[in-house]
Structure 1
Amino acid sequence: MEDIDDILLSRKTAFTFNVLHTLLDASGRDVELQNYADSFTVFAPPDEAFGRLKVKTPFDLMQDIDKLNLLLTFHMVPLKLMQADLLQLLREQAAVGVTGTGRESRPTLELGTISGHPLHVRMLEHLMVEHARVLQADVTTDNGVVHIINRILWPPGLSEESFHGNVPFHTAV
């Protein structure tokens, strides 16, 4: 089997991840994915999700490595969570009455990310992570699982517009 970084480069799904892989490489996170000893979950937006950026290009995001790292680590959970695990945890939330607020009164699962900001998972018509739909779940790897999502996940306080492009590229050591 392959690790998460290998899966992003392969053509084992109907989606391509050239942009995500390039961003991981520019930030040095690709090394972390290759060397991470424990299993974890990556919610991976494919190239077409990055193509929907309105203000910046995907490569403008590489100009501010600190913000890029925050963005990328918001897509990573330090546990291996298959879709069945997520659905089971949501059922457990429903059984104890933990729900979202306002219109979204369905059970909401809060997952801690490597960024330190929580991701919120719900089951509507489809499995949702924040406002992204899971397009394909359970792409298994040696060091975790990849769930392919239809959009970029923006952590609190970070947006496409907040990338100013004044920090040089990261160089891997």
Structure 2
Amino acid sequence: MLKRTALLTSALLLIPSALAGGGAGMPPRNSIAGIVANDPNFSTLLAAVQAAGLTQTLSTGGPFTVFAPTNAAFAKVPADQLNALLNDPAKLKAVLLYHVVPGRVMASQVIKMTSAPTAEGSSLKIMVNGGTVMVNDATVTKTDIMASNGVIHVIDTVLLPK
């Protein structure tokens, strides 16, 4: 019984250090790239970030706000279009930078905005309808995932610059 209690206590002590955001009042430990790399829902985004050569930027640069499409969002993109993007690093980089807003923009700020400038050079259109936040044609499904170099908001559609 004592051994089981010691094991449980040790496990509980390790949980906070394993969390990306740390405990209350603690700064997040993982960068945007680290959070994406550690979440299986972002494996396609991770592959795209790596193919575009943006891993270092999203690891050490910032602060940034990233509207991060999930694997399901990438699955909505026609396969031939997605493959073409993944094989064209310059175009892929532009598409990914279209998901990045300079600075740390929390959800409480996003809902007060009508547009946001992107690192790609264009602007995102932001709309709030009831409790739903839309960025262009994407719905924000999760907000304020804190990173050491910014914040991530999860979206259900890949954003494509016009």
TM-score, normalized by length of structure 1? 0.72
In 1, Cα distance between equivalents of 2:104 and 2:78? 32
Question: Are 2:40 and 1:34 equivalent residues in the alignment?
Answer: no
2:127 pairs with one of 122, 126, 131: 122
Q: Equivalent residue for 1:159?
A: none
Shift of 1:52: 1.5
Shift of 1:57: 6.0
Question: Are 2:71 and 1:66 equivalent residues in the alignment?
Answer: no
In 1, Cα distance between equivalents of 2:80 and 2:151? 29
Question: Are 2:160 and 1:146 equivalent residues in the alignment?
Answer: no
Q: Is the 8 A contact 2:63 2:102 kept in 1?
A: yes
- The structure with the largest alpha-carbon Rg is 2
Counterparts in 2 of 1:91-106, with a 5 A limit? none
Percent identical across equivalent pairs? 29
Counterparts in 2 of 1:1-173, with a 5 A limit? 1-11=29-39, 16-36=41-61, 38-56=62-80, 58-87=82-111, 89-90=112-113, 109-125=114-130, 126-156=132-162
Larger RCO, structures 1/2 (Cα 8 Å, 6+ apart): 1
* Aligned length in residues: 133
Which 4+ residue blocks in structure 1 deviate beyond 2 angstroms?
57-60
Q: Is the 8 A contact 2:69 2:155 kept in 1?
A: yes
In 1, Cα distance between equivalents of 2:102 and 2:38? 23
Q: Which one is further off, 52-61 or 111-120?
A: 52-61
Which sections of structure 1, spanning at least 5 residues, go unmatched? 91-108, 157-173
Say which structure is richer in helix.
Answer: 2
- The amino acid across from 1:2 in the alignment is N
Which sections of structure 2, spanning at least 5 residues, go unmatched? 1-28
RMSD of aligned residue pairs (Cα, Å): 1.4
- The amino acid across from 2:43 in the alignment is N
Shift of 1:133: 0.3
TM-score, normalized by length of structure 2? 0.77
